[in-house]
């Protein structure tokens, strides 16, 4: 499971002109890869929810999303799990099948919400317009297979 995590002043998701999610704090583009499971959901959600990337009173990145009173918008994005190693055309063979990926995406969102964070969600399989006002910019790429 891979995520592109960006600290944002605001993020929103629109589908067919209708706003389905909006918040400030983090924008998470989540890709589910073949072989991902419950342990990936738990490791990655704990890591992202606990990342200390918001400024404290001294101006240091020392607060998590929860501690800073922020929320997150999580967007399912199968292209994050793509393989771009060979040629110029990305391969999506490493991305999980939609049925399984949707289940894990929903479990990831639920795990983040269980921490008390406000969680806005994109819609799995939808054509979405994702808008963000990046803060910093502060952006990380996190792969659950690289977490302890």
Mean pLDDT of 44-55: 97
**Edge to edge, what strands does the sheet with 18-31 contain?**
119-121, 71-76, 18-31, 2-15, 129-143
Q: Looking at the predicted structure, is the pLDDT value of residue 148 above 90?
A: no
Q: Is the peptide bond before 99 cis (omega within 30 degrees of 0)?
A: no
What pLDDT score was predicted for residue 147? 96
Going from the C-alpha of 53 to that of each of 6, 18, 46, 83, 94, the distances in angstroms are: 10, 30, 14, 28, 29
Residue 120's pLDDT band (cuts 50, 70, 90): very high
Mean pLDDT of 4-27: 98
Q: Is the pTM of this model over 0.75?
A: yes
Distance between start and end Cα atoms, the chain: 14
CA atoms within 13 A on the CB side of 10: 4
50-96 pLDDT, tens digit each: 999 999 999 999 999 999 999 999 999 999 999 999 999 999 999 99
| % the chain with pLDDT above 90 | 99
What does the alpha-carbon distance between residue 72 and residue 25 come to, in Å, rounded to a whole number?
A: 6
């Amino acid at each position: 499971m891979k995520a592109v995590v960006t600290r944002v002043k605001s993020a929103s998701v629109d589908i067919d002109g209708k706003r389905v999610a909006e918040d400030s704090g983090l924008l998470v583009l989540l890709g589910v890869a073949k072989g991902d499971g419950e342990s990936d959901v738990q490791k990655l959600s704990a890591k992202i929810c606990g990342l200390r990337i918001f400024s404290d009173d001294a101006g240091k990145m020392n607060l998590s999303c929860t501690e800073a009173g922020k929320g997150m918008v999580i967007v399912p994005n199968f292209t994050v799990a793509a393989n771009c190693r060979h040629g110029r055309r990305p391969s999506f063979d490493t991305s999980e099948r939609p049925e399984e990926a949707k289940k894990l995406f929903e479990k990831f969102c639920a795990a983040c919400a269980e921490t008390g964070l406000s969680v806005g969600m994109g819609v799995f399989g939808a054509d979405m317009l994702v808008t963000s006002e990046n803060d910093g910019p502060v952006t990380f790429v996190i792969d659950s297979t690289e977490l302890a």
